Chain A
Amino acid sequence: MPLDMELEAVLRPIQYPMPPYPPKVITLANGKKMVVRQAVREDVPAILKSVHPCLFIERDYYDIVSARLYGELLAWFRYRVKSEFCLIGQVDGYLVGIVNSRMENEKVGMSYHTLAIDRGLRIGSHLFAAKMEYHLEYLKQDEVLIVAESPIGFRRWMIEYPLEKTTIPHELGGGDSYRLTREIYFNAKPRLVVGDRPVPPELLAEAEAEIKFADDDTIRERISGLKGR
């Protein structure tokens, strides 16, 4: 059935204008180069293919995180959420991690999810840091509200930054938000936020040409522990 564009105009929220996130490249512990770049709406179907196998992995709350991420990305793709953005990490073109987030308003960011598809390489840390970098340095926001849904997330964000506890509810409906302020971010930046710009053109071209994704079994194996046995 064709979309009723008149009704769509009512249902679709206004999109905040967001300056683009400039891509960067990070050398990982195994020497591979990870390109971190902003996904465009048209990338969503390809990204969802990598999220899908994670829906059935209970380990480390991958099921909850990926189910929510799946819904959030779909909502963005189909214009049901305002001011969402998504950054992705790619190694040799392959999708290795996804982060998404939203502008609650001009000043406040609402962090959604961090999903690392390859593990043991601190991909989640790098991508979460890129997400915070976007909120504070490019969107010029004052603070980001964050919750953790897994113990690993709690250690990586709440303790390593360390974030400030608040009683502000978070959009995800769980525990109260923790807050990343500009001061905390810039203090943590030297030890947590890295990456080189500009990305060498051939690397960027490879990443943008195609979002490659491993087959479901490979993704499940990668996530289930460092090796998964």
Chain B
Amino acid sequence: MRDVAIIGVGMIPFGRRDEDSLMDMLAYASLKALDDAGLGDKKVSAVYVGNMGAGIIQHQTSIASALVDRLSLLPAAADVIENGPASGASAIKNGLLAVASGYYDTVLVVGGEKMREITGWRATDFVATMTHPTVEYPYGITLPGMGGMFTRLYMEKYGVTREHLLAVTLKNQEMGALNPYAHVEMTLDREGIYDSPHAVVNNPLAADPLHLYDLCPVSDGAAAVVLCPLDMAKKLSKTPVLIAGFGQATDTHTLQERDDPTDLKAVTLAAQQAFEMAKLKPADIDVAELHDAFTILEIAESEHVGFFKKGEGGKAAAAGKTRLGGQIPINVSGGLKARGHPVGATGVAQVVDIVWQLRHELPENRQVKNAKTGFTINFGGFGNNIVSFVLKRVEP
């Protein structure tokens, strides 16, 4: 197997992009990544598109074929990878395997989703289609609802408090406000969303015990990366980033069939695989992007992947250990919480943000100093399909 590196990345600002179609967004992010890779008009052998909902939301299928046509990348191989909210990272994984195998040399991976062209009710229903079609979906369960049930158990078992969740909200909004690609570039205030009696309106319960600002927004957006073998990357790029490890694991479809529903086994396994392949430990990681669709997930994932012991993640967040400059900076981009969560784009966007960190390209107020290693978790379903990466800066 060949080592695989990222030689180009691109992202478009997330948010509500009424003026762009899904295909527009995929094309813009792809071109940015191709230009960043400095490929010029060189051929791309294959394209992997991470997307969850085009068939449902846009009533459009075969979007990878449409994209290669739109970008004049014909006759490149083209596939859509659908793995719920982990579609983006799954697409990267498939691109990675294709290059590692020796079969393809240059691969474009793009993740994108356009969710804001439907109403909130429809978007909630769309996301809920990943729940079990007979024993969960008919009841009106939503993904935030799954998050609420999980949070209740996690609080009970590990003593996570609303203060801990609040620390994640405030940190990620603060960082998102500095990120020009973030959907919600707005800092929040502790008094306004928690201490003040007015917080009852500002930050109402959304999926008890989770509140409005514990949840990520519904977003439009796209992000892309270009992959090639490491030896080729060293010739093509001044700042290639090595995909040093990856992992993917699954768990039961329904939460109710897990022996301990607070145990996100697939997160632990995916992370272990990625660390093992990279020959690194959690303590070796300089910066991480975790999948904080709900604030509780950032805390739970930070424990399951090994940054903190079980029960310590919430306290660590409240103590500032996950802030920029802390023990392990998590979601310096603002995370899903602030960057937004266009489901198919998120896993790619996480990797793009880590690549920028490892190339030391971010402004000082967002750059983890001298970052050499990065880590991502992209969380599909409610923890039933997890993809993780360990990335490493390649020193020139």
Direct contact of A and B (CB under 8 A): yes
Interface-located stretch among A109-117, A132-140, A188-196: A188-196
Is the CB of A78 closer than 8 A to any CB of chain B? no
Q: How far is the CA of A129 from the CA of B193 in the complex (A)?
A: 18
Contacts A26-B198, A151-B119, A195-B198; A226 near B184 (Cβ below 8 A): yes
Is the CB of A165 closer than 8 A to any CB of chain B? no
Is the CB of B191 closer than 8 A to any CB of chain A? yes
B17: chain A residues within 8 A (beta carbon): 229
Is the CB of B140 closer than 8 A to any CB of chain A? no
Interface residues of B in 7-50 (CB under 8 A from A): 13, 15-18
Contacts A229-B13, A229-B15; A30 near B186 (Cβ below 8 A): yes
Is the CB of B231 closer than 8 A to any CB of chain A? no
A228 with B197: CB separation less than 8 A = no
Q: How far is the CA of A32 from the CA of B193 in the complex (A)?
A: 11
A191 with B200: CB separation less than 8 A = yes
Is the CB of B138 closer than 8 A to any CB of chain A? no
A126: chain B residues within 8 A (beta carbon): 201
Is the CB of A122 closer than 8 A to any CB of chain B? yes
Residue tally, chain A, CB below 8 Å to B? 28
B213: chain A residues within 8 A (beta carbon): 29
Is the CB of B250 closer than 8 A to any CB of chain A? no
Is the CB of A225 closer than 8 A to any CB of chain B? yes
Residue tally, chain B, CB below 8 Å to A? 32
Q: Mark B111-131, 1 if CB is under 8 A from A, else 0.
A: 000001001110000000000
Is the CB of B196 closer than 8 A to any CB of chain A? yes
Q: How far is the CA of A194 from the CA of B204 in the complex (A)?
A: 13
Nearest CB in chain B to that of A129: its residue: B201
Is the CB of B395 closer than 8 A to any CB of chain A? no
A226 with B217: CB separation less than 8 A = yes
A125 with B200: CB separation less than 8 A = no
Nearest CB in chain A to that of B200: its residue: A191
B192 with A59: CB separation less than 8 A = no
Q: How far is the CA of A97 from the CA of B192 in the complex (A)?
A: 18
Choose among A30, A32, A121, A194 the residue with the greatest number of B CB atoms under 10 Å from its CB.
Answer: A30
B262: chain A residues within 8 A (beta carbon): none
B208: chain A residues within 8 A (beta carbon): none
A226 with B200: CB separation less than 8 A = no
Q: How far is the CA of A29 from the CA of B193 in the complex (A)?
A: 5
A226 with B186: CB separation less than 8 A = yes
Partner of A122, one of B18, B119, B120, B202: B202
Nearest CB in chain A to that of B205: its residue: A191
Partner of B191, one of A27, A125, A193: A27
Is the CB of A197 closer than 8 A to any CB of chain B? no
Q: List 16 other contacts, CB 8 Å, given A30-B192, A194-B198, A225-B15.
A: A27-B189, A29-B193, A30-B186, A30-B187, A31-B189, A31-B191, A32-B189, A59-B18, A120-B186, A125-B201, A129-B201, A151-B120, A191-B201, A194-B200, A226-B15, A227-B184
22 A-B residue contacts at CB 8 Å? A26-B198, A28-B192, A29-B193, A29-B199, A29-B202, A29-B213, A30-B192, A31-B188, A59-B16, A121-B202, A129-B201, A151-B120, A192-B201, A195-B198, A224-B18, A225-B15, A225-B16, A226-B16, A227-B15, A227-B185, A228-B15, A229-B15
**Residue ranges of B at the interface with A (Cβ–Cβ < 8 Å):** 13, 15-18, 116, 119-121, 182-193, 196-204, 213, 217
